[in-house]
């Protein structure tokens, strides 16, 4: 019975890593621009568009309001459209990414908003375009915050991926529920908890190091 434990464990760990990495990457690539747009279009921003800002803000809030487990099942039709299937690890990536993107967009927005307005004005006074302002002032100045925000997002995705078992995506959370809880296997439960804690700690540590590396304030 215990001969295939290591295999199961590694498989679950890889599934969790796959879901987290893919959803995290998508959240970063989609969330950062979304955060930039939210900051730029806000009143007093570099290209003020109050209505666009309000609409985007409402969409972001709507997604943030829905619990991840609900999104996992509610988005099944969309998942099937994008991933071609509604079950399995790949299928879980779609709702996880969709849940994480608004989350990261808000985090990024907070960091970007914290950039001193004087710096934006300085680049503007040099004759910089909006794009230059974003590239040279907003993003580099907010980078430490953007990185630690991304760390938090990754940790959140790791947590949310535990629910992905609901649509057959596997992963460590699923292993813990099916084997640790339903089969009363305390050993595997403890093992999974330790692995999850280690995983989160590594992500945190890495993120903090990166953020510090880019913080020259």
Partner 1 sequence: MSCCMDWWDPETAAFAEKIPCSDCVRVEADFVLRRQSIPDGTIVRLGNVSKSFGRVKALDDITLDVQRGEILGIIGRSGAGKSTLIRCLNGLERPDRGRVEVLGQDIVPLPERRLQLVRQRIGMIFQHFNLLSARTVAENVTLPLKIADVPWQEREFRVQDLLSMVGMSGKASVYPSKLSDGEKQRVGIARALAADPALLLCDEPTSALDPETTLSILDLLRDINRRLGLTIVLITHEMNVLRTVADRVIVLKHGRIVEEGDVWRVFTAPEADVTHRLIGGHTSDLPSAIRTGLRNEWTRGTDLVLRLQLSGSAAGNPVLAQLTRDLDVLPVVLDASVQHVQDHALASFTVAFHDPGELLARRIGEYLASRVSRLEVLGYVQQLA
Which residues are at the interface with partner 1 (CB under 8 A)? 116, 118-119, 121-129, 132, 136-137, 140-141, 143, 214, 216-217
Q: Measured from the CB atom, is 146 or 192 closer to partner 1?
A: 146
User: What is the Cα–Cα distance from 124 to 162, expressed in whole angstroms?
Assistant: 46
Whole-number minimum distance, CB 215 to partner 1, in Å?
A: 8
Q: Measured from the CB atom, is 130 or 178 closer to partner 1?
A: 130
Whole-number minimum distance, CB 158 to partner 1, in Å?
A: 29
Whole-number minimum distance, CB 214 to partner 1, in Å?
A: 7
Q: Measured from the CB atom, is 92 or 115 closer to partner 1?
A: 115
Whole-number minimum distance, CB 216 to partner 1, in Å?
A: 4
User: What is the Cα–Cα distance from 135 to 125, expressed in whole angstroms?
Assistant: 15
- Number of neighbouring beta carbons within 10 Å of residue 73: 13
* CA angle (171 as vertex; 75, 187 as ends), nearest 5: 140
Tokens of 128: 């910089």
Q: Measured from the CB atom, is 110 or 119 closer to partner 1?
A: 119
Tokens of 142: 């907010």
Whole-number minimum distance, CB 117 to partner 1, in Å?
A: 9
Contact 192, 181 (CB under 8 A): no
Q: Measured from the CB atom, is 131 or 184 closer to partner 1?
A: 131
Q: Measured from the CB atom, is 129 or 201 closer to partner 1?
A: 129
Contact 136, 128 (CB under 8 A): yes
Tokens of 187: 């050993």
Whole-number minimum distance, CB 48 to partner 1, in Å?
A: 13
Nearest Cα neighbor of 108 from 140, 143, 134, 70 is 143
User: What is the Cα–Cα distance from 87 to 66, expressed in whole angstroms?
Assistant: 20
């Amino acid at each position: 019975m215990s001969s295939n434990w290591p295999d199961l464990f590694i498989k679950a760990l890889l599934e969790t890593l796959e879901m987290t990495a893919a959803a995290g990457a998508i959240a970063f690539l989609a969330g950062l621009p979304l955060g930039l747009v939210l900051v730029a279009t806000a009143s007093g921003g570099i290209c003020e568009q109050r209505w666009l800002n309000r609409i985007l803000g409402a969409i972001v809030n709507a997604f943030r309001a829905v619990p991840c487990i609900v999104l996992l099942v509610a988005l099944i039709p969309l998942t099937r459209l994008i991933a071609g299937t509604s079950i399995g690890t790949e299928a879980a990536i779609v709702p996880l990414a969709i849940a994480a993107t608004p989350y990261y967009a808000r985090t990024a927005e907070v960091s970007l908003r914290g950039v001193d307005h004087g710096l934006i004005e300085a680049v503007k006074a040099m004759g910089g375009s909006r794009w230059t302002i974003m590239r040279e002032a907003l993003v580099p100045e907010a980078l430490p915050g953007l990185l630690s925000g991304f760390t938090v997002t990754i940790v959140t995705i790791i947590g949310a991926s535990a629910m992905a078992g609901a649509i057959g995506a596997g992963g460590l959370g699923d292993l813990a529920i099916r084997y640790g809880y339903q089969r009363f296997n305390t050993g595997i439960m403890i093992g999974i908890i330790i692995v999850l804690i280690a995983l989160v700690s590594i992500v945190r540590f890495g993120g903090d190091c990166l953020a510090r590396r880019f913080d020259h304030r």
